[in-house]
């Protein structure tokens, strides 16, 4: 993964990001020698978000298949939340 210093980003701007992403899908931005941020092309970010949604859907499907759910009214659900999880 490419790395960009905050100083390089400050002086070169977006061109520093574009250069770092020439051969990688992600680049780390370091501030005072510590890795702090990650930048990536929007298309890669959207792909990762889709992966998260697919994983959540798979988990929900598994929960439904295993019976890990309960049926309640909105009022019952809110009461459970207010009571700290107690039904």
- pLDDT tens digits for 34-51? 999 999 999 999 999 999
51 and 71 assigned to the same domain: yes
CB 68, CB 56: distance < 8 Å: no
CB 3, CB 20: distance < 8 Å: yes
Q: How far apart are CA 69 and CA 64, in angstroms?
A: 7
35 and 6 assigned to the same domain: yes
Residue 49: inside a domain, yes or no?
yes
9 and 33 assigned to the same domain: yes
What pTM was estimated for this model as a whole? 0.71
pLDDT at 86 over 70: no
CB 22, CB 47: distance < 8 Å: no
Q: How far apart are CA 67 and CA 72, in angstroms?
A: 14
CA distances from 45 to 28, 39, 42, 50, 51 (A): 14, 9, 5, 9, 10
36 and 54 assigned to the same domain: no
State the total domains in the chain. 2
Give the range of the structural domain holding residue 31, as residue numbers without chain letter: 2-40
Residue 87: inside a domain, yes or no?
no
Residue 57: inside a domain, yes or no?
yes
78 and 47 assigned to the same domain: yes
pLDDT at 67 over 90: yes
36 and 51 assigned to the same domain: no
């Amino acid at each position: 993964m490419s790395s960009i210093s905050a100083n390089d980003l400050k002086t070169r701007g977006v061109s520093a990001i574009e250069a770092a992403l020439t051969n990688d899908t992600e680049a780390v931005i370091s501030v005072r020698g510590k890795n702090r941020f990650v930048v990536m092309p929007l298309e890669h970010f959207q792909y990762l978000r889709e992966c998260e949604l697919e994983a959540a859907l798979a988990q929900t499907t598994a929960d439904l298949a295993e019976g890990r759910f309960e049926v309640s009214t909105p009022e019952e659900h809110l009461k459970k939340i207010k009571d700290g999880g107690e039904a």
